[in-house]
Amino acid sequence: MRADRLVATLLLMQTRGRVTAAELAAELEVSVATARRDLEALSAAGIPVYPQPGRHGGWSLVGGARTDLTGLTSAEAQALFLLAGPAAGVSPAARSALRKLVRALPAPFRADAQAAATATLVDPAGWGERAGSRPEIVDRLQDAVVRRRRIRFAYRGAERVADPWGLVDKDDIWYLIAGTERGRRTFRVDRVGELVVTTETVEPPAGFDLGEAWQTVVGEVEEKRAGTRAELLIEERFAWVLRDHFGRHCEQLEVLADGRARLRVGAPTPRDIARTLAGWGAMVEVLDPPAVRAELARIGAELSERYRPRTTP
């Protein structure tokens, strides 16, 4: 759910006291189905929003119409900002709205609400790996981030102690950004086991920004994933296929007079690039480096030998 739409939904409900999905859809210029899903998402996240059946029914906030958020409990405020925070990451207007909502909360709740809003980041760009279901442990880790509690957990056969700074949902694969005795580390959440949330209170480094930290992590990973780069020619109308496969590791440099596009692609090794391009046959011409050309020649020779016609005696 988009954070700006979530904020608008809450403010509209506070103003009117009760709204129908159709009224909300008209106000926010979305479909009735989308409006209904948004309302259900708020309710499922623990926000005190509930439906009233009947001819004059609709959706209401517990306690009726209000002009501020002082009626929310601490847990409800955290649920709201955990839901809205990740979606606000890409929208300056939504971030501004969330800041206003934080100021509207009772003073004792503001620190936890702000922590909840910045606890999770969504990065929709995948790394080519199909994700499984959302790990159940995510909720406990989010709680540890918001409450600023040191954690102990099993990871790759060893016990780790870390200060959780934030979680990242990268195309449905979750990562934990945390501080350790060796500095900042990144852990895949689906590999975390035997989690213990301690009572020790911790604080992230001064000026820590989850978005900036994650961009550093992505840069480091991408550098390793693109250890080899190759330049090639392919008909421009097919360039999108390679861009779709190589993702951010594919850059279109120019379009030649003959209609072919010159691309630069990257992968960990020359063999990885050659395996991807081999199926294109003569439709792709690799210009550089020689290592990728040699790998393609090797693959071609092996296929030719394996499938050349055999004469019968």
Residue 264 pLDDT: 94
pLDDT in tens, the chain (313 residues): 455 566 667 767 766 677 888 888 887 778 888 888 888 877 776 677 778 777 677 888 765 434 345 555 555 555 565 655 555 554 555 556 566 666 655 565 566 666 666 677 777 666 656 556 778 888 899 889 888 899 999 998 899 999 999 888 887 788 999 999 989 999 999 899 889 999 999 988 888 888 888 888 888 877 776 778 999 999 999 999 998 888 778 889 999 999 999 999 988 889 999 999 999 999 999 999 999 999 999 999 999 988 888 776 6
Residue 172 pLDDT: 77
Residue 230 pLDDT: 94
Residue 85 pLDDT: 56
Q: Look up the pTM and report it.
A: 0.55
Residue 3 pLDDT: 53
Residue 90 pLDDT: 47
As a three-state string, the secondary structure of the chain is CCHHHHHHHHHHHHHHCEECHHHHHHHHCCCHHHHHHHHHHHHHCCCCEEEECCCCCEEEECCCCCCCCCCCCHHHHHHHHHHHHHHHCCCHHHHHHHHHHHHHCCHHHHHHHHHHHCCEEEECCCCCCCCCCCCCHHHHHHHHHHHCEEEEEEECCEEEEEEEEEEEEECCEEEEEEEECCEEEEEEHHHEEEEEEEEEECCCCCCCCHHHHHHHHHHHHHHHHCCEEEEEEEEHHHHHHHHHHHHHHEEEEEECCCCEEEEEEEECCHHHHHHHHHCCHHHCEEEECHHHHHHHHHHHHHHHHHHCCCCCC
Residue 67 pLDDT: 39
